[in-house]
Amino acid sequence: MNVPGMDLLLPAGVAAVLAWIASILIHLVLKYHNSDYNQLENELDVASALGATSPKPKIYNLPFCTDMKALEDDSMKRRFEDGPVALVTVMPNGLPPMGKLIGLQVAYFLIGALLIGFCVSQALAPGAPWMQVFRVTSAVAFLAYGWAVIPFAIWYGHPWSVTAKYLLDALIYGLVTGGVYAWLWPAPA
C-alpha cells in the first residue's frame, strides 16, 4: 500500500525548512563555499572588456565552437591551445535580488522534498521501520540534491574540489531529509 500524498505534506514541509536552514548554516556559518570562486588579477579590465559589448544575460563560451567539426579547423584548434578556454555566465546588472533568490531556494527544497517523498512512498508502506525510511529517503534525497553536479566537473571545468563540496551539501540535505521523513513517516491506517 502506498502512502497517501496528503500524508507527505508535513514531512516535506519540515524537511524543506530544515534543509534550507542547513543551507544557511553551510553558506553563512561554515562558509566552505567561499573558496569556490576566484578573482581575476585583471578583473576591472575583463569587466570593462565584457561591459563594452553589453552582453545579454546568458552563458558564453570561448573560444566559441558550435560543433565538433569546427574543432578540425586549425585556427579553432589554435584558439583552444592559446586560450583562455572559459565559460562565462553573465547575469543581469545590479545587486543580486536576494528575496527572490531565497524564495527560489526554498521552493527548490520544498519541491525536492515532495518529489523525494513521492519516490519513497512508492517503495515503502505506512508504518515502515524508522531505519528503513531513513536509509531509503536519505539515499533518494542525496541523489536528488547532488548527483547532477558531477557533469559540471566533467564537461564544464568546475574543479572537482568544488563538486565534492556540493556533494557534501547534498549528503547533509539528504540526511536531514531522511531524518525528518523517518520521524514523521505515517503510521498504518
Give the side-chain half-sphere CA count within 13 A for 158. 19
- In this model, does residue 111 exceed pLDDT 90? yes
87 phi/psi in degrees, rounded to 5: -110, 130
Q: Transcribe 82-134 into DSSP letters.
A: HS--EEEE---SSS--HHHHHHHHHHHHHHHHHHHHHHHHHH--TT--HHHHH
The dihedral of CA 179, 135, 4, 127: what is its sign?
negative
| 1 confidence band (pLDDT: 50, 70, 90) | low
Q: Measured in whole angstroms, how far is the alpha carbon of residue 165 from the centre of its chain?
A: 11
CA distances from 119 to 31, 111, 114, 139 (A): 32, 12, 9, 11
Cα distance from N-terminal residue to C-terminal residue, the chain = 10
- pLDDT recorded at residue 5: 85
pTM beyond 0.85, yes or no: yes
pLDDT in tens, 49-87: 999 999 999 999 999 988 888 888 999 999 999 999 999
CA–CA distance, 136 with 123 (Å, rounded to integer): 9
pLDDT in the model for residue 2: 80
Question: What's the mean pLDDT in 83-99?
Answer: 95
Dihedral pair phi/psi, residue 141, rounded to 5°: -65, -40
